[in-house]
Chains A and B, each alone.
Chain A
């Protein structure tokens, strides 16, 4: 049976899983931005934290997904089985590119520009809001773009812990030796990753264009 025939027969289920998948990526990437951007800014103010924080974010990247989910199950509040645990794992995976790019973007702002701001009497908050963030937005957005695209792929592991998403078809297909099912899950995930990459790339270019 071809993938298209499979979709025609299971359209309701497919749409439901696609929606679950999009939600998982949107919520986890959103949370990672809310945590990661302030964290990245904090690192530019406290350079001593840079090593330990980026090191920890690096470590999360290296923990295999099933092992991470296994560690999360016994935890109160964050753990258990279902969407919440999957989102926690996805946030941990998304943190590194966002924190790192926020730090790199702000640290890369020309010191002369920063000095000029200070010379105009800007406070630290004004400097951040009016000079550093606008100038580093492109780099920060590039980090968000990487986190989102990787997140679309990684979100397939949500299916390992009862949180649904397109990984359901992949896990089912692998378990039942069925290529059609694997493709039914993998194809929309790939399209979603390409679409997310394109949209965020467009946003990045518009920002770069506005600046010049």
Chain B
């Protein structure tokens, strides 16, 4: 009887540290991947999982995981390389992945899992009708019409080393006016409503097909790779090797087309992400 409070105290302490907190950034794909990762840990381990989803972007997720507020989230190699580590982008997926994994381990005590499979690069996107009328297939075709066109870009794209400034130089793009800086989510609506003529979306976004838009091919290979992978605190993986095994089952399992399909299920058909994640796991990690 005398030990009961002590045992309770200990188990309460264990409970706190044994809970896995999964984060995600503030867009559908990140929520979906967070949910898939969270459910996979729930299926394969006995650890309780807490979800901290839709955090305000790369900045907030990075702050949260380095402060130990979350234990893992899914990040993109190109984003970590340029936005977090502030290195200038390179085109080779493997060298970017290796550099990011090594630096994260050294500087933050964070471990990168192997990539999940798809590459979510920036997608220079126009209305399908415009693409047909002006024969636009590649970004280099855009230079012809750009002087009469208006662009709307998200802040991330305008500021990043691998964003607009470099793109404009590589493809010789000069628009009718300086690009309008706006929220990324609102750029899709502005494009569909004809308020701007070209935006920079993400290649795996469901809206591209849903709003009848087309992404132009990056024919000069300007954008670095953005492979998605789970980033986890090293301490958590040491304490719970079963988490590492659970996550390893997901590596390389989500190709580009599959990610687009999952995003469209959530964004276009408005299916519940928990259901999408459960169905996907049942088929792909039985």
Contact = CB atoms under 8 A, between A and B. Distances in A.
B23 interface: no
B182 A160 contact: yes
Nearest to A162: B180
B183 A73 contact: no
B60 to A, nearest CB: 8
Given A69-B186, A70-B189, A160-B183, A81 B152 contact: yes
B195 A80 contact: yes
A161 B181 CA distance: 7
Contact of B183 (A69, A80, A173, A176): A69
A81 B180 contact: yes
B155 interface: yes
A174 interface: yes
A177 B155 contact: no
Interface of B: 56-60, 62, 83-84, 152, 154-156, 158-160, 180-183, 185-186, 189-190, 193, 195-196
Given A73-B195, A81-B196, A176 B181 contact: no
A174 B58 CA distance: 8
A162 B180 CA distance: 5
A172 interface: yes
Given A168-B155, A177-B84, 14 more contacts: A66-B183, A70-B186, A73-B190, A73-B193, A74-B189, A81-B186, A82-B180, A159-B182, A160-B183, A161-B186, A171-B181, A172-B159, A175-B57, A177-B83
Interface centre among A168, A171, A177 (most CB of B within 10 A): A177
Interface residues of A, number: 20
A162 B56 contact: no
Nearest to A80: B195
A66 B183 CA distance: 8
Contacts of B159: 172, 175-176
Interface in A153-187: 159-162, 168, 171-177
Interface of A: 66, 69-70, 73-74, 80-82, 159-162, 168, 171-177
A74 B188 CA distance: 12
Contacts of A73: 186, 189-190, 193, 195
11 contacts: A66-B183, A69-B183, A81-B190, A81-B195, A81-B196, A159-B182, A168-B181, A171-B183, A174-B60, A175-B59, A177-B83
A173 B158 CA distance: 12
A68 to B, nearest CB: 11
A75 to B, nearest CB: 10
Given A73-B190, A162-B181, A175 B195 contact: no
Nearest to B84: A177
Contact of A177 (B59, B182, B183, B189): B59
B160 A160 contact: no
A80 B152 CA distance: 12
A74 B83 contact: no
Contacts of A70: 185-186, 189
Contacts of B186: 66, 69-70, 73, 81, 160-161
Contacts of B181: 159, 162, 168, 171
Contacts of B83: 175-177
Contact of A174 (B59, B84, B180, B196): B59
Nearest to B57: A174
A148 to B, nearest CB: 24
Interface centre among B56, B59, B62, B152 (most CB of A within 10 A): B59
B155 A81 contact: no
Interface centre among B59, B185, B186 (most CB of A within 10 A): B186
A74 B183 CA distance: 16
Nearest to A171: B155
B150 to A, nearest CB: 9
Given A160-B182, A162-B181, A175 B189 contact: no
Given A74-B189, A81-B196, A177 B58 contact: yes
A73 B180 CA distance: 14
Contacts of A171: 155, 181, 183
Nearest to A181: B159
Contacts of A177: 58-59, 62, 83-84
A73 B183 CA distance: 12
